[in-house]
Structure 1
Amino acid sequence: MEVTLMTNNKFDAQLVQQFLSEYQDRGMLKWQGFYLSDHTSKLKQMAQQQKTQEQQQHLPQMTTAAIVQVIQQAYQKNLPVQIDLAQRDVEGYISAPICGQIRGYYVDQLVVGSQNYLINLQDIYAIQIAAS
């Protein structure tokens, strides 16, 4: 193909037709290299969260008496706890454990952590004293 420069003064219809007949658009291939670094890091973060969620497992199930004993010990000694709930999300995954100090209680609910989670005692699958 012979290269001819076009100027604003001249319009070569034959050159335009030649270009249109020989040019092959790469379609989506040209767009695949345009992911932003923020986008790729967010995709990696989402994949890691998904993997963690899929691997989440319950602690061994505890009796009500054992749960109450750990709650009393943690509350009296002001120790942080890790609470494993007997709930799953809409996708069937086990929810992440709730960690924090027991701040108090209200009727049959515990107030846990700095964000003051209210947790029903019936929803506790297992509880343990967390490593400080």
Structure 2
Amino acid sequence: MRSFDQFSDARVQHFFDQVYHDRGLMKWQGFYLSDHTAALKQVKAAEHQQLSIQPQQSVAKITQCLAVAYRQHLTVIVQLNQLTAATGTPLPAVKGIVQGYHADTVYIGAQPVALALIRYVQVV
């Protein structure tokens, strides 16, 4: 059995300076699982979708897209025609299945959205 006395400070310093080669961040890359990278990509795409202002669609196009999504039970992404007061960026897009409508309000998931506030609709 070896004694720890043979490892002097100078010998340890020589080992780390001359022999051991640190690979830097390469040794941490194995900790990023595919689920992590997929989640990070999804968050980045959602942020990009929220920050980019889509063109204003006509009322006819908006109602047509919502009607198709309602009949076929499809998911829609709706961008509202409102900006946040603090940053001036669009509010987060509303995503879900069109559940129904009443007068000038459409229900996407459980959230009511006034038709007058809709800027852009995308059927997914």
The TM-score range, normalised by the shorter chain, is: 0.5 to 0.7
Among all aligned residue pairs of Structure 1 and Structure 2, give the percentage whose two residues are the same amino acid.
27
Alignment map for 1:101-112 (pairs within 5 Å): 101-112=97-108
TM-score by length of 1: 0.54
Computing the radius of gyration from Cα coordinates, the structure with the larger value is 1
Q: Report how far residue 100 of structure 1 moved.
A: 0.2
Partner of 2:76: 81
Q: Is the partner of 1:96 in helix, strand or coil?
A: coil
Among 85, 88, 92, which residue is 1:90 paired with?
Answer: 85
Gapped regions of structure 1 (runs ≥ 5): 1-47
How many residues are paired up?
Answer: 78
Q: 1:65 corresponds to which letter in structure 2?
A: A
Partner of 1:65: 60
Alignment map for 1:4-19 (pairs within 5 Å): none
Alignment map for 1:11-50 (pairs within 5 Å): none
Q: What is the root-mean-square deviation in Å for CA atoms of aligned residues?
A: 2.0
TM-score by length of 2: 0.58
More helix by share: 2
Among 87, 98, 117, which residue is 1:123 paired with?
Answer: 117
Gapped regions of structure 2 (runs ≥ 5): 1-42
